[in-house]
């Protein structure tokens, strides 16, 4: 195993999703975070990115196989809008082509295992879908 294969995939996804050409930009704008801002964002909906597992793999070329979770957040009672963003996010992740540059230092090799579930916040009542997937990347 080579740790040199570990890429900043979370940062790369954040850069990609904040780009005005991103498939989710028209729905969330630049409201893409690594965790939620304290007190929540000033405008909803938003995305929060986490790496929840995975790691470097050996093979013909070193790659980082990361399990990513992206929480799609919205205000209470906004399940429909939250689902709209979730669908756009799932489609965008599914369609990420091999070779796509997420940022200056992260290249996509493939995505798979996309799942989602409805999980509203029990404390605030905020709407939330949880999307998880595996993304293989290469640090460049």
Q: Does residue 95 contact residue 108 with C-beta atoms inside 8 Å?
A: no
Structural domain boundaries, residue 10 = 3-139
pLDDT for 60: 72
**What CATH number is associated with residue 40?**
3.30.2000.30
Cross-strand pairs, 46: 73
One pLDDT digit (tens) per residue for the chain, 140 residues: 555 667 899 999 999 999 999 999 999 999 999 998 888 898 999 999 999 999 888 777 778 999 999 999 999 999 999 999 999 999 999 999 999 999 998 999 999 999 999 999 999 999 999 999 999 998 88
pLDDT for 110: 95
Cα–Cα distances in angstroms (integers) from residue 116 to residues 15, 100, 128, 140, in the given order: 22, 23, 10, 30
pTM above 0.85, yes or no: yes
Split into its structural domains, the chain has a count of 1
Distance of CA 13 to the CA centre of its chain: 6
Distance CA 103, CA 13 (A): 8
């Amino acid at each position: 195993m080579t740790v040199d294969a570990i890429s900043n995939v979370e940062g790369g996804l954040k850069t990609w999703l904040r780009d005005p050409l991103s498939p989710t930009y028209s729905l969330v704008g630049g409201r893409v975070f690594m965790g939620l801002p304290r007190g929540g964002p000033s405008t909803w909906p938003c995305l929060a990115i986490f790496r929840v597992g995975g790691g470097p793999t050996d093979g013909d070329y070193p790659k980082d196989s990361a399990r990513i979770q992206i929480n799609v957040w919205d205000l209470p009672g906004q399940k429909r809008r939250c689902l709209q963003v979730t669908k756009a996010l799932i489609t965008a992740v599914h369609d990420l082509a091999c070779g796509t540059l997420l940022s200056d230092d992260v290249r996509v090799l493939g995505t798979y295992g996309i799942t989602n579930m409805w999980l509203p916040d029990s404390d605030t009542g905020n709407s939330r879908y949880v999307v998880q997937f595996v993304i293989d990347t290469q640090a460049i």
